[in-house]
């Protein structure tokens, strides 16, 4: 594994030992960033099931200002620390050991919405739409935010739900990637209803 493009291009990344973590392959990672970027003009990213940290590190290399990495496994957190150091982006990274639900509640207290979110959970987890709805409810997503969900190709997430609209769906063998654009529902309702009624008596 390596960083594919940007300021850290070519830097090697370590994998998590054992079979429990399934890192995003370089091929899939390259496809993801061609769909969502390929480069960024600042903003905050969240790599919530970080594993090796490869997705968040790639985003930092391509112009995201700062990334928060979360994983529940100590070994993954240790590997993320090593990888952000190897990629030269440690000063732009915050790394926490926590599970996703608790992390969302903790992040909600910071009032720092994300521009880019990566969700690459274990394939047995198929509730990322519910987790995203919770994140939106806590105000954790910027208007216009992008979300990348990596999941088992046998599962399909809805095309639209709660302010999220599917931008892209692609399959790579047993892996599928669903990408969403997010707009807060009140903004969607305003645009559909002709906006506010300012200036009318």
Cis peptide before 181 (omega within 30 of 0): no
In a domain, 102, yes or no: yes
How many CB atoms lie under 10 A from the CB of residue 98? 16
CB 79 within 8 A of CB 64: no
In a domain, 5, yes or no: no
Q: What is the pLDDT of residues 145-187, one digit of tens each?
A: 999 999 999 999 999 999 999 999 999 999 999 999 999 987 5
β-partners of residue 81 are: none
pLDDT at 198: 44
pLDDT at 195: 47
Torsion angles phi and psi, residue 190, rounded to 5? -60, -45
Total number of domains constituting the chain: 1
Alpha helices in 62-112 (DSSP H): 74-86, 100-108
Q: Which residues of the chain have pLDDT under 70?
A: 19-21, 187-201
In a domain, 188, yes or no: yes
Structure tokens at 183: 């707009």
In a domain, 197, yes or no: no
Place of tokens 């995203």: 132
In a domain, 21, yes or no: no
The domain of 59 spans: 26-155+163-192
pLDDT at 82: 98
Q: Distances from the Cα of 41 to the Cαs of 51, 115, 134, 146, in angstroms? A: 25, 10, 26, 13
pLDDT at 201: 34
pLDDT at 60: 98
β-partners of residue 198 are: none
pLDDT at 25: 87
pLDDT at 108: 95
pLDDT at 189: 54
pLDDT at 188: 53
pLDDT at 43: 97
In a domain, 91, yes or no: yes
Torsion angles phi and psi, residue 186, rounded to 5? -65, -35
3-state helix, strand, coil in the chain (%, to 5): 30, 25, 40
Q: Distances from the Cα of 12 to the Cαs of 28, 47, 154, in angstroms? A: 16, 19, 31
Dihedral angle, C-alpha 155, 52, 163, 27, nearest 10 ° = -60
Indicate which CATH number applies to the domain containing 112. Answer: 3.40.50.150
Structure tokens at 3: 């960083």
In a domain, 200, yes or no: no
Q: CA-based diameter of the chain, in Å? A: 67
pLDDT at 199: 42
What pTM was estimated for this model as a whole?
0.90
């Amino acid at each position: 594994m390596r960083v594919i493009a940007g300021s850290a291009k070519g830097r090697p990344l370590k994998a998590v030992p054992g079979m429990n973590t399934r890192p995003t392959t370089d091929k899939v990672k390259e496809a993801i960033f061609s769909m969502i970027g390929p480069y960024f003009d600042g903003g905050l990213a969240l790599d919530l099931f970080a594993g090796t940290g490869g997705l968040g590190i790639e985003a930092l290399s391509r112009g995201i200002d700062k990334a928060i990495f979360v994983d529940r496994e100590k070994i993954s957190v240790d590997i993320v620390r090593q990888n952000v150091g190897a990629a030269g982006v440690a000063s732009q990274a915050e790394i926490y050991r926590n599970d996703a639900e608790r992390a969302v509640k903790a992040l909600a207290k910071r009032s720092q919405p994300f521009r880019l979110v990566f969700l690459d959970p274990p394939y047995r987890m198929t509730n990322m739409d519910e987790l995203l709805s919770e994140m939106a409810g806590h105000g954790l997503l910027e208007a216009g935010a992008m979300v990348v969900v990596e999941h088992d190709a046998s599962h399909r997430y809805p095309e639209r739900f709660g302010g999220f609209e599917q931008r892209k769906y692609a399959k790579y063998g047993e892996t599928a990637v669903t990408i969403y654009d997010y707009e807060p529902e009140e903004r969607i309702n305003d645009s559909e209803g002709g906006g506010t009624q300012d200036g009318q008596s």
